[in-house]
């Protein structure tokens, strides 16, 4: 022991601080699992008196999604040379780092962070993907963001829809309509009706799609009939979605519809995709891209969370691709799946 106890104590204190700093840097740099991200979000909601149930995976639709995904097995290909998988893809002709993008969020996320839309855009851009943002985000909340996808609600005042399309033409790479929320939503057992919304029929959808030079997207499709009508109306991309089970709790899982359609344009899916494994299955079944909503909401509850959510999906997808012997997303095919 040193003859100077105070010097020894200071040295010990510095060593402890050094170790703590090293541990913090290690935690900060490592990739988070989605369960960890969700756990952080749950604590955030509880501390602020917010209802985490609103952004949790609950209900029969969530259970159905898990059941469908569990019945799909993956084949591995391990007798091969080593390689680093590439998750690069394209969306509407633009290169993206992975075929996973944030779903167009609105509503409750302003209660999480007043700068939520900017953080979604920043997290997406830094991850090399295109952000999607949903109406009714206010213009002042968008901070003159550029190069995002603007998804409008089926507003009863149709003039407002055309006004939003004009806004999109100055700021966005694509614009579209959230077709499935025109009547009501069921959240936590409560039914919310929207008097300012009204269903859009085929002639209106066709007119909206032809009113802009931007690619027009139909989101909220969940049947072969509506998919065909959206294509016929001139939509350049379609998102098959059950709105996270918030319209009808017994609605089918989007992958069930995906496998029954004849794909004719860029087609994506959302709702209950929670891992690289899930993304791989969606791509193998024919999806061109995947949107994730609730995980992005969870990511908004801590610094750089959106980027870390997207990092998780990229890393997890790379792991599955490597195990299946797939070098790039174009090699992900249905031949690698087995249905139980």
Task: Answer yes or no: are the C-beta atoms of 222 and 240 closer than 8 Å.
Answer: yes
- Residue-wise pLDDT for 184-220, tens only, equals 555 555 555 667 899 999 999 999 999 999 999 999 9
Nearest to 305 by CA among 11, 44, 14: 44
Q: Considering the domain boundaries, does residue 12 fall inside one?
A: no
Domain containing residue 327: CATH number? 3.20.20.70
**CA 92 to CA 20: how far, in whole Å?**
46
Task: Answer yes or no: are the C-beta atoms of 300 and 120 closer than 8 Å.
Answer: yes
Task: Answer yes or no: are the C-beta atoms of 148 and 171 closer than 8 Å.
Answer: yes
**CA 216 to CA 143: how far, in whole Å?**
23
- Residue-wise pLDDT for 141-159, tens only, equals 787 889 999 999 999 999 9
Q: Considering the domain boundaries, does residue 167 fall inside one?
A: yes
Burial-class residue 294 by CB neighbours within 10 Å (0-12, 13-18, 19+): buried
- Residue-wise pLDDT for 45-66, tens only, equals 999 888 887 788 888 889 999 9
Instruction: Give the residue carrying structure tokens 């750089």.
Output: 304
Q: Considering the domain boundaries, does residue 187 fall inside one?
A: yes
Q: Considering the domain boundaries, does residue 201 fall inside one?
A: yes
pTM above 0.85, yes or no: yes
Q: 3-12, 106-115, 242-251: which has the minimum mean pLDDT?
A: 3-12
Instruction: Give the total number of structural domains in the chain.
Output: 1
Give me the half-sphere count of Cα atoms (radius 13 Å) on the Cβ side of residue 155: 16
**CA 140 to CA 279: how far, in whole Å?**
34
Q: Considering the domain boundaries, does residue 34 fall inside one?
A: no
Q: 7-16, 238-247, 320-329: which has the minimum mean pLDDT?
A: 7-16
Q: Considering the domain boundaries, does residue 9 fall inside one?
A: no
List the domain range (segments joined by +) for residue 295. 52-339
Q: Are strands 190-193 and 216-221 parallel, antiparallel or unpaired?
A: unpaired
Which alpha helices (DSSP H) does the chain contain, by range? 5-29, 34-47, 60-70, 109-112, 116-127, 158-171, 202-210, 224-232, 254-258, 276-284, 294-299, 305-323
Q: Considering the domain boundaries, does residue 32 fall inside one?
A: no
- Residue 1 pLDDT: 52
- Residue-wise pLDDT for 128-137, tens only, equals 999 999 988 7
- Residue 340 pLDDT: 78
Q: Considering the domain boundaries, does residue 77 fall inside one?
A: yes
- Residue-wise pLDDT for 262-281, tens only, equals 999 999 999 999 999 999 99
**DSSP annotation string for 236-255:** SEEEE--GGGTS-TTPPPHH
């Amino acid at each position: 022991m040193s003859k100077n106890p105070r010097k020894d104590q200071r040295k010990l204190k510095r060593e402890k601080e050094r170790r703590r700093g090293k541990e913090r840097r290690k935690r900060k740099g490592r990739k988070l699992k989605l369960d960890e991200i969700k756990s952080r979000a749950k604590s955030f909601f509880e501390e602020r008196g917010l209802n985490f149930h609103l952004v949790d995976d609950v209900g029969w639709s969530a259970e159905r999604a898990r059941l469908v995904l569990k019945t799909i097995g993956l084949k591995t290909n391990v007798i091969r040379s080593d390689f680093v998988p590439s998750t690069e893809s394209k969306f509407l002709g633009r290169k993206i780092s992975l075929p996973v993008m944030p779903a167009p969020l609105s509503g409750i996320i302003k209660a999480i962070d007043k700068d939520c839309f900017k953080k979604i855009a920043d997290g997406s851009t830094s991850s090399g993907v295109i952000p999607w943002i949903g109406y009714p985000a206010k213009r002042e909340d968008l901070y003159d963001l550029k190069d995002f996808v603007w998804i409008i609600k089926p507003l009863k005042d149709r003039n407002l829809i055309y006004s939003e399309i004009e806004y999109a033409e100055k700021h966005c790479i694509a614009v579209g309509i959230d077709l499935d929320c025109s009547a009501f939503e069921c959240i936590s057992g409560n039914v919310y009706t929207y008097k300012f919304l009204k269903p859009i029929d085929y002639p209106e959808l066709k007119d909206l799609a032809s009113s802009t030079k931007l690619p027009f997207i139909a989101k909220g499709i969940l049947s072969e009939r509506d998919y065909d009508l959206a294509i016929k109306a001139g939509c350049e991309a379609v998102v098959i979605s059950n709105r996270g089970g918030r319209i009808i709790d017994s609605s089918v899982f989007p992958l069930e519809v995906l496998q029954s359609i004849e794909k004719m344009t860029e087609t994506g899916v959302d709702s209950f995709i929670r891992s690289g494994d899930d993304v791989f299955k969606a791509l193998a079944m024919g999806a061109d891209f995947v949107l994730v909503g609730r995980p992005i909401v969870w990511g908004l509850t801590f610094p750089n969370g959106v980027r870390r959510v997207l990092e998780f999906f990229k890393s997890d997808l790379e792991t599955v691709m490597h195990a299946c012997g797939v070098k790039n997303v174009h090699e992900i095919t249905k031949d690698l799946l087995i249905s139980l």
